[in-house]
Structure 1
Amino acid sequence: MIIILITTIIYFPLGIALRVSQPYRVEGKMGQVKLHCSFSSKFKPLELQVSLYKGLHGQEKICSAYVSLSEPYFITDGAVHCRGNISSGSVDMIINGLKGEDTDIYRCVIEILYPPPYLRMFGNGTIVYIQETPTCPTAFTHSQSQSQSQTAERTSVIDDVGPLPLLYAILIITSFSFILQIMKNIWKWRDNGSMTPMVSQKESYRQF
Protein backbone atom coordinates (compact mmCIF):
# COMPACT_ATOMS: atom_id res chain seq x y z
CA MET A 1 0.00 0.00 0.00
CA ILE A 2 2.84 2.36 0.87
CA ILE A 3 4.60 1.53 -2.44
CA ILE A 4 1.46 2.31 -4.44
CA LEU A 5 1.06 5.60 -2.57
CA ILE A 6 4.69 6.58 -3.22
CA THR A 7 4.36 5.67 -6.91
CA THR A 8 1.19 7.75 -7.20
CA ILE A 9 2.84 10.74 -5.52
CA ILE A 10 5.83 10.54 -7.90
CA TYR A 11 4.02 9.97 -11.20
CA PHE A 12 0.88 12.01 -10.68
CA PRO A 13 2.64 15.36 -11.20
CA LEU A 14 4.39 13.93 -14.25
CA GLY A 15 1.03 13.00 -15.75
CA ILE A 16 -0.17 16.55 -15.28
CA ALA A 17 3.09 17.75 -16.86
CA LEU A 18 1.80 16.59 -20.27
CA ARG A 19 -1.51 17.63 -21.78
CA VAL A 20 -2.95 16.70 -25.16
CA SER A 21 -5.95 18.48 -26.68
CA GLN A 22 -7.86 17.99 -29.93
CA PRO A 23 -10.69 19.73 -31.83
CA TYR A 24 -14.22 18.49 -31.16
CA ARG A 25 -15.09 17.52 -34.74
CA VAL A 26 -13.50 17.37 -38.19
CA GLU A 27 -14.87 16.25 -41.54
CA GLY A 28 -13.06 14.27 -44.18
CA LYS A 29 -13.64 13.83 -47.89
CA MET A 30 -12.50 11.26 -50.44
CA GLY A 31 -11.12 9.03 -47.67
CA GLN A 32 -8.84 11.73 -46.27
CA VAL A 33 -9.02 13.87 -43.15
CA LYS A 34 -6.75 16.43 -41.49
CA LEU A 35 -6.33 16.23 -37.73
CA HIS A 36 -4.56 18.70 -35.43
CA CYS A 37 -3.38 17.63 -31.98
CA SER A 38 -1.86 20.09 -29.53
CA PHE A 39 0.30 19.13 -26.58
CA SER A 40 2.02 21.02 -23.80
CA SER A 41 4.70 19.77 -21.47
CA LYS A 42 6.86 21.15 -18.70
CA PHE A 43 9.77 19.40 -20.34
CA LYS A 44 11.00 20.19 -23.82
CA PRO A 45 10.67 16.92 -25.75
CA LEU A 46 13.28 15.91 -28.30
CA GLU A 47 12.06 12.43 -29.19
CA LEU A 48 8.43 11.39 -29.26
CA GLN A 49 6.13 8.58 -30.22
CA VAL A 50 2.97 9.82 -31.96
CA SER A 51 0.02 7.44 -32.25
CA LEU A 52 -3.59 7.63 -33.33
CA TYR A 53 -6.26 5.39 -31.82
CA LYS A 54 -9.82 4.77 -32.96
CA GLY A 55 -12.67 4.50 -30.50
CA LEU A 56 -13.82 6.28 -27.38
CA HIS A 57 -11.39 4.38 -25.21
CA GLY A 58 -8.68 3.92 -27.85
CA GLN A 59 -9.24 0.25 -28.61
CA GLU A 60 -7.78 0.19 -32.14
CA LYS A 61 -4.41 1.64 -33.12
CA ILE A 62 -4.59 3.27 -36.55
CA CYS A 63 -0.99 4.41 -36.94
CA SER A 64 2.10 5.10 -34.88
CA ALA A 65 5.45 6.72 -35.62
CA TYR A 66 8.67 7.58 -33.83
CA VAL A 67 9.56 11.23 -34.41
CA SER A 68 12.63 13.25 -33.62
CA LEU A 69 12.36 17.01 -33.57
CA SER A 70 15.47 17.13 -35.74
CA GLU A 71 13.42 15.33 -38.44
CA PRO A 72 9.85 16.26 -37.60
CA TYR A 73 8.19 14.75 -40.67
CA PHE A 74 6.74 11.24 -40.43
CA ILE A 75 4.75 8.80 -42.57
CA THR A 76 3.34 5.33 -41.87
CA ASP A 77 2.35 2.37 -44.05
CA GLY A 78 -0.85 0.37 -44.29
CA ALA A 79 -4.30 0.49 -45.85
CA VAL A 80 -5.01 3.42 -43.53
CA HIS A 81 -1.81 5.44 -43.28
CA CYS A 82 -0.82 8.70 -41.64
CA ARG A 83 1.64 11.40 -42.56
CA GLY A 84 2.35 14.56 -40.68
CA ASN A 85 4.70 17.02 -39.11
CA ILE A 86 5.53 17.97 -35.53
CA SER A 87 6.22 21.55 -34.60
CA SER A 88 6.50 23.23 -31.24
CA GLY A 89 3.57 21.94 -29.23
CA SER A 90 1.45 20.54 -32.09
CA VAL A 91 1.08 17.59 -34.40
CA ASP A 92 -0.56 18.08 -37.80
CA MET A 93 -1.36 14.83 -39.51
CA ILE A 94 -3.32 13.67 -42.55
CA ILE A 95 -5.02 10.30 -42.42
CA ASN A 96 -5.65 8.54 -45.76
CA GLY A 97 -7.58 5.44 -46.71
CA LEU A 98 -10.68 6.00 -44.55
CA LYS A 99 -14.21 4.99 -45.51
CA GLY A 100 -17.64 6.12 -44.41
CA GLU A 101 -17.82 3.23 -41.96
CA ASP A 102 -14.67 4.56 -40.26
CA THR A 103 -16.57 7.53 -38.82
CA ASP A 104 -15.72 7.42 -35.12
CA ILE A 105 -13.83 9.14 -32.29
CA TYR A 106 -10.08 9.33 -32.85
CA ARG A 107 -7.61 10.06 -30.06
CA CYS A 108 -4.03 11.28 -30.32
CA VAL A 109 -1.48 9.74 -28.01
CA ILE A 110 1.77 11.57 -27.30
CA GLU A 111 4.67 9.79 -25.62
CA ILE A 112 7.76 11.71 -24.63
CA LEU A 113 10.70 9.33 -24.94
CA TYR A 114 13.57 11.71 -24.41
CA PRO A 115 14.61 13.45 -22.27
CA PRO A 116 13.35 11.60 -19.23
CA PRO A 117 11.03 11.21 -17.50
CA TYR A 118 8.87 9.12 -19.82
CA LEU A 119 5.42 10.67 -20.24
CA ARG A 120 2.35 9.37 -22.03
CA MET A 121 -1.01 11.05 -22.49
CA PHE A 122 -4.20 10.53 -24.50
CA GLY A 123 -6.01 13.40 -26.14
CA ASN A 124 -9.64 14.21 -25.40
CA GLY A 125 -10.71 12.77 -28.78
CA THR A 126 -12.09 14.14 -32.04
CA ILE A 127 -15.23 13.03 -33.84
CA VAL A 128 -14.02 12.28 -37.36
CA TYR A 129 -16.82 12.18 -39.90
CA ILE A 130 -15.99 10.58 -43.26
CA GLN A 131 -18.33 11.33 -46.13
CA GLU A 132 -19.33 8.20 -47.98
CA THR A 133 -18.43 8.21 -51.67
CA PRO A 134 -21.72 8.34 -53.60
CA THR A 135 -22.52 5.23 -55.61
CA CYS A 136 -25.77 6.47 -57.18
CA PRO A 137 -25.36 7.56 -60.82
CA THR A 138 -25.52 11.29 -61.41
CA ALA A 139 -27.25 12.95 -64.35
CA PHE A 140 -23.94 13.21 -66.19
CA THR A 141 -23.03 9.55 -65.69
CA HIS A 142 -26.57 8.54 -66.67
CA SER A 143 -26.45 10.53 -69.91
CA GLN A 144 -22.92 9.29 -70.59
CA SER A 145 -23.94 5.66 -70.11
CA GLN A 146 -27.03 6.22 -72.26
CA SER A 147 -24.98 7.69 -75.11
CA GLN A 148 -22.50 4.82 -74.82
CA SER A 149 -25.40 2.35 -75.01
CA GLN A 150 -26.82 4.07 -78.11
CA THR A 151 -23.39 4.06 -79.75
CA ALA A 152 -23.01 0.35 -79.00
CA GLU A 153 -26.46 -0.33 -80.50
CA ARG A 154 -25.61 1.61 -83.66
CA THR A 155 -22.34 -0.26 -83.97
CA SER A 156 -24.15 -3.55 -83.54
CA VAL A 157 -26.70 -2.64 -86.23
CA ILE A 158 -23.93 -1.59 -88.61
CA ASP A 159 -22.10 -4.84 -87.98
CA ASP A 160 -25.26 -6.84 -88.62
CA VAL A 161 -26.26 -4.94 -91.78
CA GLY A 162 -22.73 -4.39 -93.05
CA PRO A 163 -22.58 -7.24 -95.68
CA LEU A 164 -26.02 -6.47 -97.18
CA PRO A 165 -24.96 -3.51 -99.41
CA LEU A 166 -22.19 -5.66 -100.88
CA LEU A 167 -24.63 -8.45 -101.62
CA TYR A 168 -27.04 -5.99 -103.21
CA ALA A 169 -24.24 -4.64 -105.41
CA ILE A 170 -23.22 -8.14 -106.51
CA LEU A 171 -26.82 -9.04 -107.33
CA ILE A 172 -27.33 -5.84 -109.33
CA ILE A 173 -24.09 -6.32 -111.30
CA THR A 174 -24.94 -9.98 -111.98
CA SER A 175 -28.47 -9.11 -113.08
CA PHE A 176 -27.23 -6.30 -115.28
CA SER A 177 -24.64 -8.61 -116.90
CA PHE A 178 -27.28 -11.25 -117.46
CA ILE A 179 -29.65 -8.73 -119.08
CA LEU A 180 -26.83 -7.44 -121.32
CA GLN A 181 -26.05 -10.98 -122.42
CA ILE A 182 -29.68 -11.63 -123.28
CA MET A 183 -29.93 -8.37 -125.20
CA LYS A 184 -26.72 -9.17 -127.03
CA ASN A 185 -28.07 -12.56 -128.06
CA ILE A 186 -31.32 -10.94 -129.22
CA TRP A 187 -29.46 -8.38 -131.33
CA LYS A 188 -27.28 -11.09 -132.82
CA TRP A 189 -30.32 -13.18 -133.68
CA ARG A 190 -32.02 -10.19 -135.32
CA ASP A 191 -28.92 -9.46 -137.39
CA ASN A 192 -28.74 -13.03 -138.62
CA GLY A 193 -32.47 -13.04 -139.43
CA SER A 194 -32.29 -9.83 -141.44
CA MET A 195 -29.30 -11.03 -143.51
CA THR A 196 -30.93 -14.28 -144.75
CA PRO A 197 -33.71 -12.83 -146.99
CA MET A 198 -31.27 -10.35 -148.56
CA VAL A 199 -29.04 -13.18 -149.72
CA SER A 200 -31.93 -15.15 -151.11
CA GLN A 201 -33.22 -12.09 -153.00
CA LYS A 202 -29.82 -11.52 -154.63
CA GLU A 203 -29.66 -15.14 -155.63
CA SER A 204 -33.12 -14.81 -157.23
CA TYR A 205 -31.90 -11.81 -159.24
CA ARG A 206 -28.95 -13.84 -160.46
CA GLN A 207 -31.26 -16.57 -161.65
CA PHE A 208 -33.06 -14.05 -163.84
Structure 2
Amino acid sequence: MNLSLLTFLCLGLYLPVWNALRVTQPYRVVGFRGEVELFCFYHHTGRHEPEELRVTLYRGMYGEGKQEVCTSSFTHNQTFFQVEGVREVRCRGQLGPGRVNLTVSGLRGNDTDLYRCGIEVMYPPPYLRTFGNGTLLYIPEEPGCSLPEALRRSDMGETSVRLALAGLVAANILTVISVIAFLLYKVLQRKRRFGGITPMISQNDGRFGYGNFQ
Protein backbone atom coordinates (compact mmCIF):
# COMPACT_ATOMS: atom_id res chain seq x y z
CA MET A 1 0.00 0.00 0.00
CA ASN A 2 1.57 3.25 -1.08
CA LEU A 3 1.74 6.41 0.99
CA SER A 4 -0.90 8.31 -1.03
CA LEU A 5 -3.54 5.62 -0.55
CA LEU A 6 -2.77 5.42 3.15
CA THR A 7 -3.11 9.18 3.51
CA PHE A 8 -6.43 9.13 1.65
CA LEU A 9 -7.81 6.39 3.90
CA CYS A 10 -6.71 8.23 7.02
CA LEU A 11 -8.37 11.43 5.89
CA GLY A 12 -11.52 9.57 4.93
CA LEU A 13 -11.72 7.91 8.34
CA TYR A 14 -10.90 10.88 10.55
CA LEU A 15 -12.28 13.87 8.67
CA PRO A 16 -15.96 13.23 9.56
CA VAL A 17 -14.99 12.72 13.18
CA TRP A 18 -12.82 15.81 13.30
CA ASN A 19 -15.58 17.97 11.79
CA ALA A 20 -18.66 17.17 13.86
CA LEU A 21 -21.65 19.14 15.07
CA ARG A 22 -23.85 18.29 18.04
CA VAL A 23 -26.97 20.15 19.23
CA THR A 24 -28.62 19.82 22.63
CA GLN A 25 -31.76 21.42 24.09
CA PRO A 26 -33.48 21.62 27.48
CA TYR A 27 -36.14 19.01 28.15
CA ARG A 28 -39.06 21.33 28.94
CA VAL A 29 -39.78 25.07 28.83
CA VAL A 30 -42.94 26.86 30.02
CA GLY A 31 -44.12 29.94 28.17
CA PHE A 32 -45.62 33.10 29.59
CA ARG A 33 -48.24 35.20 27.80
CA GLY A 34 -47.64 33.42 24.53
CA GLU A 35 -43.86 33.86 24.61
CA VAL A 36 -41.13 31.35 25.32
CA GLU A 37 -37.33 31.45 25.41
CA LEU A 38 -35.51 28.41 24.06
CA PHE A 39 -31.76 27.75 24.18
CA CYS A 40 -30.20 25.69 21.39
CA PHE A 41 -26.70 24.63 22.46
CA TYR A 42 -24.28 23.46 19.80
CA HIS A 43 -20.83 21.93 19.97
CA HIS A 44 -18.66 22.08 16.88
CA THR A 45 -15.43 20.14 16.62
CA GLY A 46 -13.32 21.34 13.73
CA ARG A 47 -10.24 23.25 12.80
CA HIS A 48 -12.14 26.50 12.40
CA GLU A 49 -15.04 28.02 14.25
CA PRO A 50 -18.25 28.37 12.18
CA GLU A 51 -18.44 31.81 10.62
CA GLU A 52 -21.96 31.46 9.24
CA LEU A 53 -24.73 29.42 10.81
CA ARG A 54 -28.34 28.78 9.93
CA VAL A 55 -30.82 27.93 12.67
CA THR A 56 -34.27 26.50 12.00
CA LEU A 57 -36.97 25.74 14.54
CA TYR A 58 -39.19 22.77 13.72
CA ARG A 59 -42.39 21.67 15.36
CA GLY A 60 -43.01 17.95 15.73
CA MET A 61 -41.35 14.73 16.75
CA TYR A 62 -38.76 14.78 13.96
CA GLY A 63 -37.14 17.97 12.74
CA GLU A 64 -36.81 17.03 9.13
CA GLY A 65 -40.06 16.83 7.22
CA LYS A 66 -42.10 18.42 9.99
CA GLN A 67 -43.55 21.91 10.26
CA GLU A 68 -40.99 24.67 9.97
CA VAL A 69 -41.71 27.48 12.42
CA CYS A 70 -38.96 29.95 11.48
CA THR A 71 -35.46 30.01 10.06
CA SER A 72 -32.62 32.51 9.64
CA SER A 73 -28.90 32.75 9.00
CA PHE A 74 -26.42 34.83 10.97
CA THR A 75 -22.72 35.39 11.32
CA HIS A 76 -20.36 36.53 14.02
CA ASN A 77 -20.61 40.05 12.62
CA GLN A 78 -24.41 39.97 12.71
CA THR A 79 -25.42 38.00 15.78
CA PHE A 80 -29.05 39.14 16.07
CA PHE A 81 -31.99 38.30 13.84
CA GLN A 82 -35.77 38.69 13.90
CA VAL A 83 -38.10 36.97 11.45
CA GLU A 84 -41.80 36.31 10.96
CA GLY A 85 -42.76 32.67 11.31
CA VAL A 86 -45.91 30.74 10.46
CA ARG A 87 -49.27 32.32 11.32
CA GLU A 88 -48.64 35.09 13.87
CA VAL A 89 -45.49 33.54 15.35
CA ARG A 90 -42.38 35.73 15.52
CA CYS A 91 -38.84 34.57 16.25
CA ARG A 92 -35.94 36.56 17.64
CA GLY A 93 -32.48 35.06 17.87
CA GLN A 94 -29.23 35.97 19.54
CA LEU A 95 -25.96 34.15 18.87
CA GLY A 96 -23.88 33.45 21.96
CA PRO A 97 -20.82 31.34 22.76
CA GLY A 98 -21.85 27.82 21.78
CA ARG A 99 -25.57 28.54 21.77
CA VAL A 100 -28.42 30.30 20.03
CA ASN A 101 -31.01 32.04 22.19
CA LEU A 102 -34.41 31.82 20.51
CA THR A 103 -37.36 33.90 21.71
CA VAL A 104 -40.62 32.76 20.13
CA SER A 105 -43.75 34.90 20.61
CA GLY A 106 -47.31 34.82 19.35
CA LEU A 107 -47.93 31.28 20.59
CA ARG A 108 -51.25 29.89 21.84
CA GLY A 109 -52.29 27.06 24.08
CA ASN A 110 -52.77 24.67 21.17
CA ASP A 111 -49.15 25.32 20.10
CA THR A 112 -47.94 23.15 22.98
CA ASP A 113 -45.74 20.54 21.30
CA LEU A 114 -42.22 19.21 20.84
CA TYR A 115 -39.88 21.65 19.10
CA ARG A 116 -36.45 20.83 17.70
CA CYS A 117 -33.57 23.09 16.73
CA GLY A 118 -31.82 22.44 13.45
CA ILE A 119 -28.41 24.03 13.04
CA GLU A 120 -26.36 24.11 9.83
CA VAL A 121 -22.76 25.17 9.39
CA MET A 122 -22.80 27.14 6.14
CA TYR A 123 -19.19 28.35 6.19
CA PRO A 124 -16.40 27.32 6.28
CA PRO A 125 -16.64 23.89 4.64
CA PRO A 126 -17.50 21.16 5.16
CA TYR A 127 -21.25 21.72 5.32
CA LEU A 128 -22.73 20.22 8.50
CA ARG A 129 -26.31 19.83 9.65
CA THR A 130 -27.86 18.26 12.72
CA PHE A 131 -30.91 18.45 14.99
CA GLY A 132 -31.36 18.78 18.70
CA ASN A 133 -33.05 16.24 20.95
CA GLY A 134 -36.20 18.36 21.18
CA THR A 135 -37.85 20.53 23.83
CA LEU A 136 -41.43 20.32 25.04
CA LEU A 137 -42.80 23.86 24.88
CA TYR A 138 -45.79 24.19 27.18
CA ILE A 139 -47.89 27.25 26.37
CA PRO A 140 -50.54 27.98 29.04
CA GLU A 141 -53.83 29.20 27.66
CA GLU A 142 -54.42 32.83 28.56
CA PRO A 143 -57.87 33.37 30.16
CA GLY A 144 -60.16 35.38 27.92
CA CYS A 145 -57.85 35.23 24.91
CA SER A 146 -59.32 32.05 23.45
CA LEU A 147 -62.97 33.11 23.54
CA PRO A 148 -64.55 33.08 20.10
CA GLU A 149 -65.64 36.41 18.70
CA ALA A 150 -69.33 35.37 18.77
CA LEU A 151 -69.06 34.48 22.46
CA ARG A 152 -67.41 37.79 23.28
CA ARG A 153 -70.19 39.64 21.47
CA SER A 154 -72.78 37.58 23.34
CA ASP A 155 -71.18 38.52 26.65
CA MET A 156 -71.18 42.20 25.67
CA GLY A 157 -74.84 42.00 24.68
CA GLU A 158 -75.76 40.28 27.94
CA THR A 159 -73.93 42.95 29.91
CA SER A 160 -75.84 45.69 28.05
CA VAL A 161 -79.17 44.00 28.83
CA ARG A 162 -78.26 43.73 32.50
CA LEU A 163 -77.33 47.39 32.66
CA ALA A 164 -80.61 48.38 30.98
CA LEU A 165 -82.65 46.27 33.43
CA ALA A 166 -80.76 47.74 36.39
CA GLY A 167 -81.50 51.26 35.16
CA LEU A 168 -85.20 50.45 34.72
CA VAL A 169 -85.46 49.02 38.23
CA ALA A 170 -83.71 52.06 39.70
CA ALA A 171 -86.12 54.41 37.86
CA ASN A 172 -89.14 52.50 39.20
CA ILE A 173 -87.79 52.66 42.75
CA LEU A 174 -87.26 56.42 42.47
CA THR A 175 -90.82 56.86 41.15
CA VAL A 176 -92.33 54.92 44.08
CA ILE A 177 -90.25 56.92 46.58
CA SER A 178 -91.41 60.18 44.96
CA VAL A 179 -95.10 59.17 45.17
CA ILE A 180 -94.78 58.14 48.83
CA ALA A 181 -93.02 61.41 49.68
CA PHE A 182 -95.77 63.41 47.92
CA LEU A 183 -98.53 61.60 49.84
CA LEU A 184 -96.79 62.16 53.17
CA TYR A 185 -96.42 65.84 52.33
CA LYS A 186 -100.15 66.13 51.63
CA VAL A 187 -101.08 64.41 54.89
CA LEU A 188 -98.82 66.68 56.95
CA GLN A 189 -100.14 69.79 55.18
CA ARG A 190 -103.75 68.79 55.93
CA LYS A 191 -102.98 68.22 59.59
CA ARG A 192 -101.44 71.68 59.85
CA ARG A 193 -104.51 73.28 58.23
CA PHE A 194 -107.13 71.76 60.54
CA GLY A 195 -105.07 71.29 63.64
CA GLY A 196 -105.83 74.87 65.09
CA ILE A 197 -109.70 74.74 64.92
CA THR A 198 -111.45 74.33 68.29
CA PRO A 199 -114.04 71.58 68.21
CA MET A 200 -117.65 72.75 68.77
CA ILE A 201 -119.44 71.32 71.81
CA SER A 202 -123.24 71.03 71.77
CA GLN A 203 -125.19 72.23 74.87
CA ASN A 204 -128.95 71.56 75.07
CA ASP A 205 -131.03 73.11 77.90
CA GLY A 206 -134.21 71.46 76.71
CA ARG A 207 -136.20 74.63 76.07
CA PHE A 208 -136.11 74.84 72.37
CA GLY A 209 -135.51 71.27 71.31
CA TYR A 210 -132.18 71.98 69.70
CA GLY A 211 -128.76 72.62 70.98
CA ASN A 212 -126.84 75.81 71.26
CA PHE A 213 -123.40 75.72 69.87
CA GLN A 214 -120.53 77.57 71.34
TM range (shorter): 0.5 to 0.7
Q: 1:153 aligns with which of 158, 165, 187?
A: 165
Structure with greater helix percent = 1
Equivalent position of 2:203 in the other structure:
none
1:49 alignment partner in structure 2: 54
1:152 aligned partner, one-letter code: A
Structure 1 portions without partners, runs of 5+: 138-144, 165-208
Q: Work out which of the residue numbers 67, 79, 88 in structure 2 matches 1:72.
A: 79
User: Match for residue 131 of structure 2?
Assistant: 122
- In the TM superposition, what whole-angstrom CA distance separates every residue of 1:48-99 from its partner, at most 9, and x where no partner exists? 1111011111211100001111010011113312102001111111111211
Secondary structure class of the residue paired with 1:13 = helix
The count of residues paired between Structure 1 and Structure 2 equals: 149
Structure 2 gap ranges (5+): 1-8, 148-156, 176-214
Distance in 1 (CA, whole Å) between partners of 2:128 and 2:18 is 7
Distance 1:119 1:23 in 2: 22
Counterpart contact for 1:34–1:94, Cα < 8 Å: yes
Aligned residue type for 1:69 = H
TM-score by length of 2: 0.60
- Contact residue 14 and residue 119 of structure 1 kept, 8 A: no
Partner of 1:34: 37
Q: How does 1:163-182 map to 2 (within 5 A)?
A: none
When normalised by structure 1's length, the TM-score is 0.61
How many angstroms apart in 2 are the aligned matches of 1:33 and 1:54? 14
2:141 alignment partner, SS class:
coil
Residue 35 (structure 1) shift: 0.3
Q: Percent identity?
A: 41
User: Hey, what's the Cα distance between the residues in 2 that align with 1:101 and 1:11?
Assistant: 44
Cα deviations by residue, 1:21-71 (Å, 9 ceiling, x for unpaired): 100000012211110111111230111111101111121110000111101
Q: RMSD of the TM alignment (CA)?
A: 3.4
Structure 1 range deviating more: 55-64 or 73-82: 73-82
Larger radius of gyration: 1
